[in-house]
Amino acid sequence: MFNIMSITLKGIFRDRVFHGILVVAFILPLIPVISTLSMRQVTELSITLSLSLISFILLLLAVFLGGTALWKDIERRYTYSVLSLPITRSSYLLGRFFGNALFMLITATLLGCVAAVVVWLVASGSPPDRQVVWMNFFLAVFFDAMKYILLVAVAVLFSTVSSSFFLPIFGTISAFLVGSSSQQVYDYVNSQPAQTLSLLTRKTASSLYYVLPNFSAFDLKVNAIYGLPLSLKGLFLTVVYGLVYGGIVLALSSVIFAKKEMK
Amino acid sequence: MNAIEITNLSKTYKGKKFSTVEALKNLNLTVGQGEIFGFLGPNGAGKSTTIKALVGLIAPTAGSATVMGVDISSHEARRHVGYLPENPAFYDYLTAEEYLAFVGKVFHLPESLLREQSERVLKLLELWEARKRPIRGYSKGMVQRVGLAQVLIHDPDVYILDEPMSGLDPVGRALVKDIMLELKARGKCVFFSTHITADVETVCDRVGIILKGELKSVEHVDKIMTEGVLGYNLRIRTRNQPELVERYVAKEDLEMVMQKLFTAGDEISLIEPSRKSLEDFFLDIVKGKIC
Ligand SMILES: Nc1ncnc2c1ncn2[C@@H]1O[C@H](COP(=O)(O)OP(=O)(O)OP(=O)(O)O)[C@@H](O)[C@H]1O
Ligand SMILES: [Mg+2]
């Protein structure tokens, strides 16, 4: 598995998609310039912009690297040469996943540090009303990375189901969109005005809520921007949720992939 | 212990809209250690299907097989196997050297042995100069050579090669034959598919001929070659004639004719067996004349 992980990382660093996405990261240093265009809440704006940019870059990486990892191997017939080695299907799959996950973590760390420097520069240029809570800032980046690693797991699951590139890419994007709003839908369904909806609709919506990933808990942007206090218990539950959900998705992927025919 | 044992192996591919292809029907075959086995068959006969089942890429519909005594459903069976896929492709962002290092690590080769072996096989397959370039930039034959290199690097007991000579130049083909003979001398088992009868004739101990998913014949190559002798071409210098005379003699008449010539005091300058080649044997089976 570690062998697969290390060649996965090598592959990403030499991938053109990665180089393309890297270019996007060069927007980060421009943030101070953009932020100062706004007269008020310059620091808050710079935090918002940098967190959003990091989020966007990680989303691209999750979709295009996570979503295409297996598909590319099958399409280019690498699976014949790799899966015929004495490794199990699941160690190949997990090696691929953890290679991608580790890469996302590294990227998030690097981008997070660069963004911190940027925000610090802005904050020292025009001191904000509230102090920047750095802890929240870094936690926001970390949880964002966790969210997208979870999305990579979902992308891997889609790749094991279908061997085209259509489902992994678009499935992952849809999972992201739905996953980001499922909490709102769930809250609405269980609210007073929604009781007029049919029971079936409400039941379907609630069961979808449990099946689909729920990404909103991972979003700590607001806490980072306004320095709002974080609940330790909430964070802990989110981590547990991420681990359990990711574990289930990967286990399912392993089972499907073990049965897949490399014809 | 046999190197490869295949029992009642069948494979049916399921296509779209309930169409099915019976690619392999009840295959039974054993190949011993120290044996070179040629798996001969026309396009679409089921050679690659058999091989992919052996290395765990596809699951057989029925039947079973073992490699060095280990059932093929376990990934441990592949620890004894070097497999060359047909039209192979390898992570093309890696260099040949890096790819070999990857394969060596999967097979738990110690670092020093890995370096030594890597150098040996890269030089053997004439990839030494290109070893630091990504595989992306290799020619077809060079990729095929990488395929052979990654098979040889971990020195397995069983070699399963799907059309090992394809894409290689004549020098490369000769090299592959030499390598196979050398492996055999070291007691290794080589199982390879091909549709070129000449390759089988020169290196194989036994040949299996497969047609439309059914194994039609398994024979010792020597036996085919001797049984294939139909007659002899003699070149004779008779006493009363200065020029050489050519004469064809059927197999069963040879002794009688020789006796006659001898008593007549004629001189035989050449005896050449005229035989049915393996190719004719193969074509006869394909056209349904035998079996
Ligand atoms: N993925 C697949 N789906 C459906 N049928 C398949 C598939 N792969 C192979 N077949 C069928 O199985 C049969 C055997 O194919 P196989 O690839 O084993 O032939 P082969 O002997 O290796 O031929 P070649 O000499 O051309 O490589 C063929 O009839 C082929 O059409
Ligand atoms: Mg084939």
ipTM of the complex: 0.85
Kindly report the length of chain B: 291
List the single best residue of A81, A260, A261 to mutate versus B (max B Cβ within 10 A).
A81
**B95, B17: one domain:** yes
**What is the Å distance from ligand 1's center to B215 Cα?**
15
**B189, B243: one domain:** no
Q: In angstroms, how far is CA A125 from the centroid of its own chain?
A: 32
A80 interfaces chain B, CB cutoff of 8 Å? yes
**B125, B239: one domain:** no
User: Across the interface, do A261 and B105 touch by the CB < 8 Å criterion?
Assistant: no
Give yes or no for a contact between A171 and A66, defined as CB atoms under 8 angstroms apart. Answer: no
**B196, B112: one domain:** yes
Give me the residue label for tokens 């090992």: B164
Q: Domain of A229?
A: 2-259
Percent of chain A with pLDDT over 90: 27
pLDDT at A146 over 80: yes
Question: How far is B190 from B159, CA to CA, in rounded Å?
Answer: 5
**B180, B75: one domain:** yes
Give the binding-site residues of ligand 1, using a 6 Å CB cut-off.
Answer: A 263; B 13, 15, 21, 23, 41, 43-49, 86, 195
Query: What sign results for the dihedral spanned by CA atoms A85, A89, A93, A98?
Result: negative
Least distant ligand from the CA of B215: 1
Q: Which of B10, B43, B49, B212 to mutate to test the pocket of ligand 1 (most atoms within 8 A of CB)?
A: B49
**B186, B137: one domain:** yes
Q: How high is the pLDDT of residue B291?
A: 52
- Kindly indicate the confidence band of residue B117, based on its pLDDT and cuts at 50, 70 and 90: very high
B104 interfaces chain A, CB cutoff of 8 Å? no
Going by CA atoms, what residue is nearest to atom 1 of ligand 1?
A263
User: Across the interface, do B58 and A263 touch by the CB < 8 Å criterion?
Assistant: yes
Q: Which CA distances in Å does A258 have to A23, A34, A202, B56? A: 37, 50, 36, 10
Burial class (CB in 10 A: 0-12, 13-18, 19+), A166: exposed
**What is the Å distance from ligand 1's center to B158 Cα?**
23
Phi-psi map region of A182: left, alpha, beta (phi>0 left; psi -120 to 50 alpha): alpha
Quick check: is B281 in a domain?
no
Phi, psi angles (nearest 5°) of residue B193: -100, 155
Of the listed ranges A27-41, A78-92, A151-165, the one predicted with least confidence: A27-41
User: Across the interface, do B102 and A3 touch by the CB < 8 Å criterion?
Assistant: yes
Token duo for residue A158: 């889609």
Rg (CA), chain A: 20
Quick check: is B192 in a domain?
yes
Tell me which residues have their CB within 5 A of the ion that is ligand 2: B 47-48, 86
Q: How high is the pLDDT of residue B122?
A: 95
Q: Provide the domain count of chain A.
A: 1
- Kindly indicate the confidence band of residue A39, based on its pLDDT and cuts at 50, 70 and 90: low
Question: How far is B263 from B256, CA to CA, in rounded Å?
Answer: 11
CATH number at B10 reads 3.40.50.300
CATH number at B244 reads 3.30.1490
pLDDT at B140 over 90: yes
Shortest Cα distance, chain A CAs vs residue B83, angstroms: 7
* B21 or B244, higher pLDDT: B21
Q: Provide the domain count of chain B.
A: 2
**B242, B150: one domain:** no
What is the pTM (predicted TM-score) of this model? 0.86
Q: How high is the pLDDT of residue B186?
A: 94
**B35, B127: one domain:** yes
A16 interfaces chain B, CB cutoff of 8 Å? no
A70-102 pLDDT per residue, tens: 888 888 899 999 999 999 999 999 999 999 999
Three-state secondary structure string covering chain A = CHHHHHHHHHHHHCCHHHHHHHHHHHHHHHHHHHHHHCCCCHHHHHHHHHHHHHHHHHHHHHHHHHCCHHHHHHHCCHHHHHHCCCCCHHHHHHHHHHHHHHHHHHHHHHHHHHHHHHHHHHHHHCCCCCCCCHHHHHHHHHHHHHHHHHHHHHHHHHHHHCCCCHHHHHHHHHHHHHHHHHHHHHHHHCCCHHHHCCHHHHHHHHHHHHHCCCCHHHCCHHHHHHCCCCCHHHHHHHHHHHHHHHHHHHHHHHHHHHHCCCC
Quick check: is B286 in a domain?
no
Shortest Cα distance, chain A CAs vs residue B102, angstroms: 7
pLDDT at A230 over 80: no
User: Across the interface, do A84 and B81 touch by the CB < 8 Å criterion?
Assistant: yes
**What is the Å distance from ligand 1's center to B212 Cα?**
10
User: Across the interface, do B76 and A86 touch by the CB < 8 Å criterion?
Assistant: yes
Q: Domain of B254?
A: 229-275
Shortest Cα distance, chain B CAs vs residue A212, angstroms: 30
**B11, B145: one domain:** yes
Residues of A in contact with B107 (CB under 8 A): 85-86
B92 interfaces chain A, CB cutoff of 8 Å? yes
Question: How far is B165 from B147, CA to CA, in rounded Å?
Answer: 11
**B257, B146: one domain:** no
Quick check: is B28 in a domain?
yes
Going by CA atoms, what residue is nearest to atom 22 of ligand 1?
B48
- Kindly indicate the confidence band of residue B281, based on its pLDDT and cuts at 50, 70 and 90: confident
**B216, B238: one domain:** no
